[in-house]
Structure 1
Amino acid sequence: MDWESHARQMADEVVQPGSRWYEALGHTPRHVFVPRWWASGQGVWELRDGPSDPEEWMRAAYANRTLVTRMGPVHADLAEPGDTVPGGRPTSSSTLPGLVVNMYRHAMINGDDRVLVTTGTGYGTALLCWRIGDELVTSVDVDPYLVKAATERLDSIGLRPEMAVCDITGPLPEKYHRIVSTVSVRPVPVSWLEALRPGGRLVTTLAGTGLIITADKSTDGGAVGRVEPDPAGFMRTRHGEDYERQTDDLFKQVEQADGEQVSTSRYPLLYVPDDWAVMSMLELAAPGIDHRIAAVGDERTVWMLHPDGSWARAAAAAFLDSPTVHQGGPRRLWDELERIRHRLNREGTLPVYGAQVRIAPDGVLTLSRGKWSQTVE
């Protein structure tokens, strides 16, 4: 297969020819790391097998998009031909190459830096090895199978970084100049601060938000930095085979229930994950909300569900109609959302992107911009 021409074409799309990442993108065989993946179909995820359809394999592997490689506990490598997964949540993927490179750019990696990264399929690890040398790279994942598969695939193309099965939120193997996490966390683990060398930098995203956090280790053992202006979202860290969705029972109870409070919103219906800034502000103010959506013709309904029993359902018959909102439980989640939208309407922007970041040595993170501040514990 002429994978090199596909890789070079992707490199042309992702970066400029003068970029330090151009050669890494153009010479790393992404298809080796994603022989199988899950594709979203009609309400199910369908298995795709690269070797059985080389043309589709090349198109998928060398497109600047994310390829889902694990649905719940089912890894694409270990599925049977023709398998499907109904619903569920992705638990591992090969992140779109442009975003991987962007995270590395935010890390400001120098040629002699020791760097810790998250494994996934191993493709992002391969890009970094190509860029700075495998002897400077440590790659970790909580999933033993992922580490084993990535190690073998990296070895097959001549790359041998240090690989470890490791919960990245716990103790880390060594000390590093850079930590780049392509899984999201909340809060930033104290172990990262302990593992960073003086002046080292961490790059991650806050779970449930679209916020890229960059922070440099400070002399007191904490770190200071900022929220980068570009948004990104990654899967959360997990500690088991799957993510636990704690609101399924609540959804069954309130899917069509009348609320304790019923109102009409002044704004068009919003599915919160469609707006990076609003989603991030809401997650900071009221973490842990599960957002769901359904559409029948022009009518759309969104739900906001929280493990504490709070819920909201909003429905509108057309795009610009004011939705009818039902709310129940101990908190009024839609009111929390409306406060954020009022602020956006009043000020024309929200303060999260470009905010200053301060991480205390005990891991308490504070975001601030102007008169606004938010603490994340």
Structure 2
Amino acid sequence: MNWQPHAVGLAERVTHRSSRWRAPVAETARHLLVPRWWERDPDGWAVRDGSADESRWLDTAYSDTSLITSVGPLHADCASSDDRPVGLPTSSSTLPSLVVRMFQHARLGDSDTLGHVGTGPGYGDALACRRLGDKQVTSMDVDPYLVEAARARLGEMGLHPAVLHVDATGDLPGTFDRIVATVSVRPIPASWLAALKPGGRLVTTIAGTSLLVTAEKTEDGGATGRVEWDRAGFMHARHSADYPPRLAALLATARKHDGDDISTGRYPVVHVTEAWDLASMLDIVAPGIEHRFDEDDKQRTALMAHADGSWARATAHADEAPQVNQSGPRRLWDILDEVRTYWLTNGELPVRGAKIFVKPDGSTDLARGKWLAKL
């Protein structure tokens, strides 16, 4: 299979010609790390087998897109054509441009050791090995199948990083000049700070947000840095084969029932999860809200739910003021409207570009101007 021109084309799309990451992307056979993957079709998730259509396999593997490799506990490698899993994606091969950007944010030097949290299919580790060398790369994942598969497939490419089965929210196996997480966390694990060498640099994302954080270790064992202007979204770090149950029942209640509080909203119905800055600011103020959004020719509907029992439903035609139903201990739509008011009053939301201060125990403060927040 003549995959090299496809890899070269991908490298040209996702790196600058003078980038040190261009050669690693051009030399890495991504398709061998993702032989099977999940795609959405009208009936839900459907497995795709690369060997059944090699042309499609190459086009898919060398596109700058994320490829879902697990849904719930079911790996695409182990699925049959009849499987239709439900639930959230639990592993993917991240879009190559984002992998490169995460490593660029780490400011890797030639002699640096890298701790990579979130092995997945191993594509990021392949790039890191070609950039740094096998002995400088340690990769960790909570899923033992992913660890074994990535180790074997990387080995077939002649790459031999340390690929370890580790719940990376606990103790890490060693110390590193750089830690890059391609899973999101909240809070930042204290173990990551302990595993950073003096002056080491951490790159991660905050769970529930698109906030990409870079921070350097300080003498007290904490770290200081900033929320980058860049954006990134990764799956939440997990501790087992799947995520805990979500709030489907409460969202169903929000869809069907009248609230204890019925009012007219100040602003049009918004698809919160598609408004990345708004969603990130909301999740800093009120973490853990789940969202659903529907739109047709007649109406927009936004649902919100939280594990504390709070829920909200906003419905409206186009950009009209919505009718808002809310119930539970908090008024979730009112919290959202407060964030939107802040945005309109101040011209922007303060969370992106904020300074970040991480204590040795992982507790984290954000600050920008007069705005302060704790994660």
Instruction: Quickly name the TM-score band, shorter chain normalised.
Output: over 0.9
Contact 2:8 2:27 in 1 (8 A): yes
SS in 2 for 1:170: coil
SS at match of 2:184: coil
Question: 1:136-155 alignment to 2 at 5 Å?
Answer: 136-155=136-155
Partner in structure 2 of residue 198 of structure 1: 198
The residue that corresponds to 1:255 in the other structure is: 255
User: What secondary structure is seen at the aligned counterpart in 2 of 1:183?
Assistant: strand
Deviations 1:175-231 (A, max 9, x none): 100000000000000001110000001100000001001000000110000000011
Corresponding residue for residue 347 of structure 1: 346
1:131 is matched with which residue?
Answer: 131
Please say if residues 254 and 303 of structure 2, whose CA atoms lie closer than 8 Å, have aligned partners that are also in contact. Answer: no
Question: How far apart are residue 51 of structure 1 and its match?
Answer: 0.5
Match runs of 1:1-377 below 5 Å = 1-85=1-85, 87-117=86-116, 118-318=118-318, 320-376=319-375
Taking the aligned partners of 2:264 and 2:4, their CA distance within structure 1 comes to 56
Structure 2: 5+ residue stretches without partners: none
CA distance in 2, matches of 1:294, 1:143: 34
Distance 2:214 2:155 in 1: 31
- For 1:226 and 1:43, how far apart are their aligned partners in 2? 42
Amino acid at match of 1:136: Q
Other structure's SS at 2:242 match: coil
| TM-score normalized with structure 1 length | 0.97
Whole-Å separation in 1 of the counterparts to 2:8 and 2:258: 56
Matched residues in 2 for 1:173 and 1:100: separation? 22
For residue 285 of structure 2, what is the amino acid of its counterpart? Answer: A
SS of equivalent residue, structure 1 residue 268: coil
Greater than 6 Å deviation, 4+ residue runs? none
Q: In structure 2, how many angstroms separate the alpha carbons of the residues matched to 1:185 and 1:197?
A: 20
**1:11 and 1:324 mapped to 2: Cα distance?**
49
Shift, 1:350, TM fit: 0.4
Q: CA deviation at 1:43?
A: 4.8
Deviation at 1:321?
2.1
Q: Secondary structure at the match of 2:131?
A: helix
Q: Is the 8 A contact 2:46 2:81 kept in 1?
A: no
Distance of 1:173 and 1:232 partners within structure 2:
26
Query: CA contact under 8 A between 2:251 and 2:304: conserved in structure 1?
Result: no
How far does residue 18 in structure 1 lie from its aligned partner after superposition? 1.0
One-letter identity of the residue aligned with 2:39: A
Identity across the alignment (%): 50
CA distance in 1, matches of 2:84, 2:143: 22
**Is the partner of 1:56 in helix, strand or coil?**
helix
Counterpart Cα distance in 2 of 1:77 and 1:211:
31
The alignment partner of 2:55 has SS state of helix
Q: In the alignment, residue 151 of structure 2 is paired with which amino acid? A: T
**Is the partner of 1:168 in helix, strand or coil?**
coil
TM superposition shift of 1:249: 2.2
**Distance apart, 1:16 and its partner CA:** 1.2
Q: Distance in 2 between matches of 1:229 and 1:296?
A: 33
Whichever residue aligns with residue 333 of structure 2, its letter is: W
Unpaired stretches in structure 1, ≥5 consecutive residues? none
Q: CA deviation at 1:82?
A: 3.9
Q: SS at 1:228's partner residue? A: strand
Residue 264 of structure 1 deviates from its aligned partner by 1.8
Distance across 2 between alignment mates of 1:218 and 1:337:
35
Q: Secondary structure at 2:188's aligned position in 1?
A: coil
In 2, Cα distance between the equivalents of 1:358 and 1:371? Answer: 15
The residue identity in structure 2 corresponding to 1:206 is I
1:248 maps to amino acid: A
Secondary structure at the residue paired with 1:297?
coil
CA–CA separation in structure 2 for the residues paired with 1:15 and 1:48: 28
